[in-house]
Amino acid sequence: METLARARAETDALFRLVRPDSLYERPIPERHRIIFYRGHLEAFDWNLIGHALDRPPIDAALDRLFAFGIDPPPGELPNDQPSDWPSTDVVERYCGRVREALDTIDIPEQLLNVAVEHRLMHAETFAYILHQLPYQRKVGAGAQWTWAGGAPRSPRMVEVPAGAARLGRTDSEGFGWDNEFQAHIENVPAFAIARHKVTNGEYLEFVRQGAAVPFFWAERNGDYFYRGMWSEIPLPLDWPAYVTYDEAAAYARWRGMRLPTEAEWHRAACGSSVSRNVDFASWDPIPVDEGDDGIQQMIGNGWEWTSTVFAPFPGFKPFPFYPNYSEPFFDGRHIVLKGASPRTAACFLRASFRNWFRPSYPYLYATFRLVES
């Protein structure tokens, strides 16, 4: 239960960054209002653990209301109003009752791992939701930066010889989500991969050739800025560019290259060290070349888009207690990301973990690097 307590502390701290009069805001049109996430974390835990252990509902209506997030197709946005949601007092009482009930239960290890990792996933997704909340609605807005601008980095490719890539994990390796199983080997032909993630400075060249300005940038009178968590700053040219899959793929084509497959990413990342910019280390990126020699920051400082459509591995079996975690997204419309972002918890740094999003989704901390055959 200590791991669950630490995860609760992480998400509780995030909600304290929202001004009380802003809990019913919807910073991202495709997502629920903030108040949903306050109730969802506890409802998920109870719906998972309480149901599995045959416990009665805490509050049947709220258990259902806060059960599921949303991932609407483009153009199909939610239209609920703040008045459609319970008051903050009702939600807080519900959350307290759930925690009090759970803290008396001896939770099976697998369910505890699911509850902890689900909550820490939301610690990241809620961070990028909070990122889009107007500065004046966040506690701590206008915080001072220690950033100093750097120069753009020169691209450099690293040769990766042909060989085997191991994807996934086995039951004996401990907890993983259903889509991480089963471990298997893919043979990968030789290729070359960029030593660094594509930087803002490199992507700026693409923008100046007519590409759209990325979502995390702002442009005024020909000057470009990065929209940070707490304030805008002049665009850091040596930071990785946060972009959508569609933007990353277009840039790669413009450069005459492509994005790596999931197997190529594994082949290149084998033996890589972890960037210091993970596990809630920072709200924003760091320069792309901070780290050891070799292929840098494969794990950390921004998720990396692959070219692989999210699909099951051979031998996939959905969790019987959470059948909708992966399977609904094997729809050909979600792309695999690998690595980690500054707001990714340490438990997700295992090589087998797979992230996935729609190719046009602009809000997450997603970077990319180039490969060529």
Does 168 lie in the same domain as 82? no
Does 117 lie in the same domain as 57? yes
Question: Does residue 80 sit within a domain?
Answer: yes
The pLDDT tens digits for 288-311 are: 998 877 899 999 999 999 999 999
- Here the CATH number for the domain that contains residue 67 is 1.20.120.450
Total structural domains in the chain? 2
340 near 349, Cβ under 8 Å? yes
Question: Does residue 220 sit within a domain?
Answer: no
Does 194 lie in the same domain as 325? yes
Does 163 lie in the same domain as 127? no
Does 64 lie in the same domain as 194? no
Give the span between the Cα atoms of 371 and 116, in whole angstroms.
Answer: 35
Q: What is the CB neighbour count within 10 angstroms for residue 294? A: 12
Counting as low any pLDDT under 70, the low residues of the chain are 141-154
Does 98 lie in the same domain as 188? no
pLDDT at 136: 93
Give the span between the Cα atoms of 202 and 125, in whole angstroms.
Answer: 27
pLDDT at 95: 98
pLDDT at 9: 97
The pLDDT tens digits for 187-232 are: 999 999 999 999 999 999 999 999 999 999 999 999 999 999 999 9
pLDDT at 62: 96
Question: Does residue 84 sit within a domain?
Answer: yes
- Here the CATH number for the domain that contains residue 315 is 3.90.1580.10
Question: Does residue 211 sit within a domain?
Answer: no
Q: Provide φ and ψ at 186, rounded to 5°.
A: -120, 135
Question: Does residue 216 sit within a domain?
Answer: no
115 near 177, Cβ under 8 Å? no
Question: Does residue 298 sit within a domain?
Answer: yes
Give the span between the Cα atoms of 177 and 117, in whole angstroms.
Answer: 9
Query: Which tokens go with 232?
Result: 């805008």
Residues of the domain holding 260: 157-198+240-372
Identify the sign of the CA torsion 163, 251, 360, 238.
positive
Does 192 lie in the same domain as 125? no
Does 185 lie in the same domain as 117? no
Question: Does residue 273 sit within a domain?
Answer: yes
pLDDT at 69: 82
